[in-house]
A and B are shown apart, each in its own frame.
Chain A
Amino acid sequence: MTQEQILERVQLIFRECFDNDTLVIERSTTAKDVENWDSLNHVNLLAAIEKEFGFEFTLTEMGGLKNVGEMLDLIHQILSDK
């Protein structure tokens, strides 16, 4: 899966989780930039990503993920290692 394909799917997840059909995320997007992206919904986001891509983050990985770019890189890496 390419970075672009991953971004596309993650964007859909963001739109559903934050109930915003026009939300556009970029690599630099952080929790500050998205309405409702609090720690509670962050859990939802992680769970939805795990479900979408069919893997589980490790505890260590869950601790990182400060912005969308880190998320995309991590997903890409996990998928390529599979």
Chain B
Amino acid sequence: MDSETKKGTGSVLDVLDYPFDPAAILKKKLSIKKELLNSTAPRLEKRIAVLGGSTTNEIVNILELFLLKIGIKPAFYECEYGKYYEEIMFDQAALKAFKPDLIYIHTTSRDLTAFPSIGDRPETVSDLRAGTFNRYRSLWETARDVFQCPVIQNNFELPQYRPLGSLDFSAEYGRTNFIQALNCDFADYARTHNSLIINDIFYLSSCVGLDNWYDDRFWFSYKYAMRHQYIPSLAYGVAQQIGAMFGFSKKCLVLDLDNTLWGGIIGEAGLRGIQIGKETPLGEAYTAFQQHVKELGRRGVILAVCSKNERENALEGFTHPDTVLKAEDFADFRANWEMKSANILEIAKSVNIGADSLVFIDDSPAEREIVRAQASQVVVPEAGSEPQTYMRVLDRGLFFESVALSEADLQRNQQYLENRARESAEAQFQDYDSFLKSLEMRAEIAEFEPVYLDRIAQLINKTNQFNLTTKRRTLTEVEQIGSDPSYIPLYGRLKDKFGDNGLISILIGRSEGTDLHIDTWLMSCRVLKRGMEAAMLNALVERAIARRVTRILGDYIPTSKNKMVAELLSSFGFELISKDASGRTSWVYRIPSQWSPVTHQIAIAQSTGARP
């Protein structure tokens, strides 16, 4: 875990946020604790007994930090070193007086002193296995019956060394074999007894690697069962489970779309341009991430979308042939141009949970930072910028821990699905045109005006996708075009009921006798599929007719990014004249004597600076 680049709200407590740097937590634990105790936020008080077979002091120290951060104020009891069994089974007075709400039994493979001997008969091994299991089972049942509290119990990590080498796995007296069998016994019991919760150090130690996990120096010197630096990871996992027991788990995963659930920007690249599916390595990675998210949905995590996008573009992404997630997998779907923080808080309201139950994944560090600043209750992990890193952070972050899955968890998404179907039936549009009408779009289309020249030059130089010719121009050249009477230099602005999209389209024609050449035609992808292209072309044709132009000629000059406009001219009735080896196509439109404008749903405002 590298958190060198990690951002945060600037608080010393940020070091506790997953993904964290364990060394920083260990080193700064005193100042972190001071800071946590400065907070007057109300906390749930819980009495936690930590009983270990090895040293637990530092585990308790770090566990305390994570619990305080979650909102639990723990009072701890620690047993005498290594006396976990005795204090639960026989010397119960101290523990009874403590009245634990919860017992955490921290044992590891270091505590398995009675391994089978090489050559033991199968019956001997299975007796030993049953004896070992029963020893633990009596602890759990005593905790339940005498202390009336649940137990968090570590399972066993794989052994550090294997006297039998590879045979250790399959021989019944092998240590690896024995440990795996015991872990199965633990799992079987936990599955049928809800007072037992397993904290899985088998998995944790595998994640970090056994050679990293085991550190003999600290074992022989200080009796730490694992390498000191993994104590924060262990404590974090236990804290998340305790949090889950007392209702502090996160419930809802809010996801950005572009470069989060698929590669690329759908508003620019279009449905075919986004990366998802088997075609590219990155596409496969997004597919894997979507599958992971789908599984989270199945386990009862509420899914929601928060994306800066046109809603129709955003929804279109989930019609991709390779998409795993569908629009109906989301309990709430917010694709607009509002602040993400505001949208996320709205999501919390609409699914009726606290904002502190949300986890937000976005590829953009800037968006993450803004959401952290504006909606500080929301968990916004530093998730990197590629699907495999999102998956890792979501998985290892243990945000959605639960101690058991209920029927309600498994049904949750179905319920949200039904709710959404009701809502959308109310608000459903007959067709796409009705939707466009409902947007109440108004455009202003006119010849270049000095006040817009900077914006026009910027748009000319940065627009890649909806750009017919991709001709770049300096500001001076733009000014010249604006004042040269042989040009029809049009800009377009578009507003709708949700707000002003600003100056988003440019169409430049150059007349030569009765011909008009399309020099530049570009548009910001924010407003794709709104009919703005048609409105721009209409404005150009009107002006061309006024100049007695009879033909409009246009070229599509292909680049690596502008495939989306390859058929643009064709879609407006231009005829293909020629195509060269580079893929460049030339088109002509013969203006009919009874020309009628292309229909669209945008009201065109009076052009302010129109010239004859």
Contacts and interface: CB of A to CB of B under 8 A. Distances in A.
Interface of A: 13, 16-19, 36, 39-40, 43-44, 47-48, 51, 56-59, 62-63
A47 B31 CA distance: 18
Contacts of B221: 43, 59, 62-63
Contacts of B29: 44
Contact of B217 (A18, A19, A36, A56): A56
B58 A16 contact: no
Nearest to A45: B27
Contacts of B30: 17-19, 36
B26 A44 contact: yes
Contact of A59 (B26, B58, B217, B229): B217
Contacts of A19: 28, 30-31, 34
A48 B217 contact: no
B217 A47 contact: no
* B interface, size bucket: 20 to 34
Contacts of A17: 27, 30
Interface string B6-26: 000000000000000001001
A59 B28 contact: no
A74 B282 CA distance: 49
Most A CB within 10 A of own CB, among B30, B34, B58: B30
Given A16-B31, A39-B222, A59-B221, 19 more contacts: A13-B27, A16-B27, A16-B28, A17-B30, A18-B30, A19-B34, A40-B58, A43-B221, A43-B224, A43-B228, A44-B26, A44-B27, A44-B58, A47-B26, A47-B228, A48-B26, A58-B217, A59-B220, A63-B221
A51 B29 CA distance: 16
A43 B217 CA distance: 11
Interface string B228-251: 110000000000000000000000
Nearest to B218: A43
B386 to A, nearest CB: 28
B217 A57 contact: yes
A63 B23 CA distance: 22
Nearest to A48: B27
B411 interface: no
17 contacts: A16-B27, A16-B28, A16-B31, A19-B28, A19-B30, A19-B34, A36-B30, A40-B61, A43-B224, A47-B229, A48-B23, A48-B26, A56-B217, A57-B217, A59-B216, A59-B217, A62-B217
Nearest to B220: A59
Nearest to A18: B30
A51 B22 CA distance: 11
Most B CB within 10 A of own CB, among A18, A40, A47, A58: A47
A63 B61 CA distance: 24
A51 B229 CA distance: 10
A6 to B, nearest CB: 18
A62 B23 CA distance: 19
B58 to A, nearest CB: 6
B216 A43 contact: no
B57 interface: yes
Most A CB within 10 A of own CB, among B57, B221, B224: B221
A29 B251 CA distance: 51
Nearest to A36: B30
B81 to A, nearest CB: 12
